[in-house]
Structure 1
Amino acid sequence: MKLLMIETSTRGEHSISRHLAKNFMAQWKLAHPEGEIVERDLATTHLPYMNLPWLQASLTPADRHTPGMKDVLQVSDELVAELLAADHIAISTPVYNYNVPANLKSYIDHIVRKGLTLGMTGEGLVHGKTCTVLMASGGVYTEGSPIRDRDIATTYLRLILKVIGIEDVTFVAAGGTKVVDLGERPRGEFLQTFDAAITSAVRA
C-alpha cells in the first residue's frame, strides 16, 4: 500500500491542516505498517501556472514531444506519476476565501492531463483509489450552517476528483479554526475532536 500525502498550507507548525495531516499519516502507518508514505509539499514545490507552451506540450501526443516540451512537462509528469502510483491519496488544505489555495489549484491543473488521468473523450482514467481530504477552515460549512452555500472548496474538489475517476472520497472538515487563532481554544484540544473522523477515514 502507498499513501500520497499532499500538503498545501504555508503556515508551518501553526497550520491546522498540517496537524491533521500528521495525525492521518500516523494513523495510516499504524493500519499499514508495511506501507509507504510519499509526501508532496506544495508550499515548497515550484508549480508554474499554465501558459501557452505548457498547454501546447500537454495536448501534443507523447511520441511527438520535443526536448523543450519534455522540459516544460517535467514537473507535471512527476506529479502525475506520484498520483498514479498511490493507493490512497490524502489532500491536506486550508480554505482561503471559500476555495482552495492557489498552489492546490495549480497542482490540479498539472495532474488533470489528457491521455494520462483524463481520456481523450473526457472520461476519468484514475480508478481503484481512495481519497481523503483534510480541510481546515475558519468558517463552519457542515449541514445546517447558515453559510453552507459558500462551501465552494468541497464542491470543487469532489467534482475535479470525480472528473479524473476518483469517486471514493471522504472529507474531514475541521471548521471553526479561528477559535484556535484567537486563543479561545487550545490547538491540541481542537484537533482531538477530529481524531475519530481521521481514524474512520484511514480504515475506510
Structure 2
Amino acid sequence: MANILHIDSSPRGERSISRSLSHAFVTSWKNAHPGDTVTYRDLGHHPVPHVDEGWIAAAFSPPETHTPELTQAIQLSDSLIDELLAADRYVFGVPMYNLNIPSTFKAYIDQIVRIGRTFAVDANGYKGLIDSNKKVLIITSRGGTFPPGTPFAAYDHQEPYLRTILGFIGLTDVSFIHADSLNLGDDARQKSLENAQAAIAQVVDSW
C-alpha cells in the first residue's frame, strides 16, 4: 500500500482544468489500487502563508534555541514537511500563471524546501534528503503551448522550475501531463483535454 499526497493549487473550483484532471487521475488510481491512501491538500482554497522573518529566524537556528515565538513560526512548515516525507507518491495539479506557477504553490514550496529537513549542504554541494525513488506526477493547465525545440519553449518557466526545485530536495522522478492550448480555440482545447485524459489513463496503468 502507498500513501499519495495530492495537492491542488488552482483557486478555481469546478471550472479548474488542473483540479479536474488531478482528481480524475486520483480517482482512477484509487479504483486500480483500493488499498492506497490519499492525503489531500487544497492550496488554491486554503493557501499556506508566505515565509516571513520569524520563519527565517527559526529555519536557520537550532531547534533547541527556539523561543515559543520561533517554535510557532516554524510549526506549519514542520507539519507540511512531515506530510511530504510520509507520502510515497505525489500528484500535483498546477495551472500556469504568467508563464510560471501560482503564488499558492510557490508559497508551499518555500515552506517545504528547508535546510536540514529536505536538503543539506556538504563539501560536495547541495544534497536532496527525500528518497529519489518516490514518483511525482504534475498535471498542468496552460492557455498556450510551449513545445520543446520551438521558440515558444523559452517562455515555459513552469516545468523547468518545478523539475529543478523538486530535484533539489531529491525528487528526480518527475512526470508531467500538460493540458495546454486551452485558449487557442475550441478544437485545440478539446484535443488537448482528450490527450491529457488519455495520458492519465496510461500513467494509471504504468506509474
TM-score (norm 1): 0.91
Alignment partner, residue 9 of structure 1: 10
Alignment partner, residue 115 of structure 2: 114
Cα distance in 2 between the residues matched to 1:113 and 1:125: 10
Task: Give the direction of change, closer, same or farther, for the CA distance of 1:187–1:29 in structure 2 (3 Å limit).
Answer: farther
Q: Secondary structure at the match of 1:13?
A: coil
Which whole-Å deviations, capped at 9, do the CAs of 1:61-80 have from their partners, x for residues lacking one? 22322221121112211111
Q: Secondary structure at the match of 2:90?
A: strand
Q: CA deviation at 1:185?
A: 5.1
TM-score (norm 2): 0.90
Cα distance in 2 between the residues matched to 1:27 and 1:65: 44
Cα distance in 1 between the residues matched to 2:173 and 2:32: 18
Equivalent residue letter for 2:77: S
State, as a whole percentage, how many aligned pairs show the same letter: 38
Alignment partner, residue 199 of structure 1: 201
Equivalent residue letter for 2:17: I
Matched ranges for 1:55-204 at <5 A? 55-121=56-122, 122-127=126-131, 128-179=133-184, 184=186, 191-202=193-204, 203-204=206-207
Q: CA deviation at 1:58?
A: 0.8
Q: Secondary structure at the match of 2:119?
A: coil
Q: Could you tell which deviates more after superposition, 132-141 or 26-35?
A: 26-35
Q: 4+ residue stretches of structure 1 with deviation over 6 A? A: 186-189
Task: Give the direction of change, closer, same or farther, for the CA distance of 1:195–1:92 in structure 2 (3 Å limit).
Answer: same
Q: Could you tell which deviates more after superposition, 25-34 or 188-197?
A: 188-197
Task: Give the direction of change, closer, same or farther, for the CA distance of 1:139–1:166 in structure 2 (3 Å limit).
Answer: same
Structure 2 gaps of 5+ residues are: none
Which whole-Å deviations, capped at 9, do the CAs of 1:37-92 have from their partners, x for residues lacking one? 11110023342222221101011122322221121112211111111011111110
Q: CA deviation at 1:169?
A: 0.4
Equivalent residue letter for 1:129: K
Q: Could you tell which deviates more after superposition, 126-135 or 192-201?
A: 192-201
Structure 1 gaps of 5+ residues are: none
